[in-house]
Amino acid sequence: MNRKVIIIGAGVAGPILALQLKKIGFAAEIFESRSEDNTKEGAFLGLTPNGLNIFKEFVDLRLLKEDYTPGSMKFFNSKGKQIAELDTAYQKQQYGVETIQIKRANLNKYARIAAKDAGIKIWYDKKFVRYHEASEQVTAYFADGTTASADIMIGCDGMFSEVRNQLFPEVFAIQYTKLISTGGYAKIPELSKPLDSIRMTFGERGFFAYSVSNHGEVWWFNNYFREQQPKPHEIEKTLKTEIQDYLANVHKNDDPLFSKIIKNSHEIIAYPIYDVPRLSHWYKGRVCLIGDAAHGISPHIGQGASLALEDTVVIAELLKSHKDYGTAFQIFQSKRQPRVEKVIKSARKVGDTKTKTNPIAAWFRDRLIGFFIGKQIQQLDWIYGWTYSK
């Protein structure tokens, strides 16, 4: 008889995990807290070769290119002079695919369509609240009063994981890092043609990055340093205007195009960045965490989605070769944690440089980043060239 698995969360990892587990004979069902028409995320993200090479087994990557910007980057100083270039041609040759930027909503959408097409049931409006283990089964309880039972449960419910809270109530809350990931979308007559790269400028008082999608839409991103964690009503009502005003001021002496993009954005993205405390265990009994729920990572080096996808490969391989799920979960953590922590450390390093507000430190930072980028292409093999090894 098929082993059954409950998957909590239909973000990036949930649907791809269900597909991986179906291949090895599990019957998977996914439970997502949001409703089906409320799964649109404003943000866009870079999906790098280590993630793309997993995703492409289930989703035709051409679909992701329906709305995208390239991952190549060109770096400019505040006078508009190009100082470095990070071209993804090397990635294509080395890993077969190259980084692209896509909207997170599309990544989720295609993952869900692939799962649905494979006959996997995704339940919406199912907010997981607690679980119980008995008689060789785990039962999940949802806010609407319904339940579901299976042999195992995998928490793919992201950074604010309720599965994690229920498993390890003693773990500290996630920490606000004083940085807000910002960005947006704009339509600007001067920038209506797709660009071949992301243009990253180290302006007088901060960096500004933008590209133009294949549909002629400007996608821009930036960071906003804010000492106080924004309250929910601020995020909802005032934060976006606060960010627009602040950034327009920061870039007032840079290329006037930047302020124009910021002011004319029809959508502004603002996500406070958090650190998830290191968990000593990612599993307990019949329940295991993967992706952001196990090891949330700041977006500074664009690896959260790709790490979550890597997790799906490893846990499925282990559940295939170990009938005892406890052993599979334990090996999963021991195989994944060192790599994930190394990537998190790199992301924190980049994040720390972004909180430097002292103009002299920022001046050196901006120039050093430009210098190092040229040297780094091959040094990123350890991240982008990941493959599963037994």
Ligand X SMILES: Cc1cc2nc3c(=O)[nH]c(=O)nc-3n(C[C@H](O)[C@H](O)[C@H](O)COP(=O)(O)OP(=O)(O)OC[C@H]3O[C@@H](n4cnc5c(N)ncnc54)[C@H](O)[C@@H]3O)c2cc1C
Q: Given the rule CB under 6 A, which residues bind ligand X?
A: 8-14, 31-34, 43, 45-46, 104, 126-128, 156-158, 162, 181, 271, 291-293, 299, 302-306, 308
Q: Which residue is nearest to ligand X (CB)?
A: 11
Least distance in Å: CB of 180 to ligand X? Answer: 9
Least distance in Å: CB of 257 to ligand X? Answer: 23
Least distance in Å: CB of 25 to ligand X? Answer: 23
Helices 256-263, 239-250: crossing angle, 10 deg rounding = 170
Least distance in Å: CB of 384 to ligand X? Answer: 12
Of residues 261 and 294, the one with the C-beta less far from ligand X: 294
Residue 96 is given by DSSP the state S
Least distance in Å: CB of 124 to ligand X? Answer: 9
Residue 352 is given by DSSP the state H
Please check whether residue 368 is in contact with residue 362, taking contact to mean a CB–CB distance below 8 angstroms. Answer: no
Of residues 70 and 158, the one with the C-beta less far from ligand X: 158
Question: What number of other Cβ atoms are within 10 A of residue 196's Cβ?
Answer: 12
Least distance in Å: CB of 361 to ligand X? Answer: 25
Please check whether residue 109 is in contact with residue 59, taking contact to mean a CB–CB distance below 8 angstroms. Answer: no
Q: State the Cα–Cα distance between residues 91 and 80, nearest whole angstrom.
A: 27
Of residues 78 and 243, the one with the C-beta less far from ligand X: 243
From residue 384, give the alpha-carbon distance in Å to each of 65, 265, 267, 374, 375. 20, 32, 31, 17, 16
Of residues 168 and 271, the one with the C-beta less far from ligand X: 271
Side-chain half-sphere CA neighbours of 142 within 13 A: 19
Of residues 104 and 336, the one with the C-beta less far from ligand X: 104
Of residues 78 and 195, the one with the C-beta less far from ligand X: 195
Residue among 20, 195, 193 at smallest CA distance from 101 = 195
Least distance in Å: CB of 258 to ligand X? Answer: 19
Of residues 184 and 304, the one with the C-beta less far from ligand X: 304
Q: State the Cα–Cα distance between residues 329 and 187, nearest whole angstrom.
A: 47
Determine the residue type at 13: A
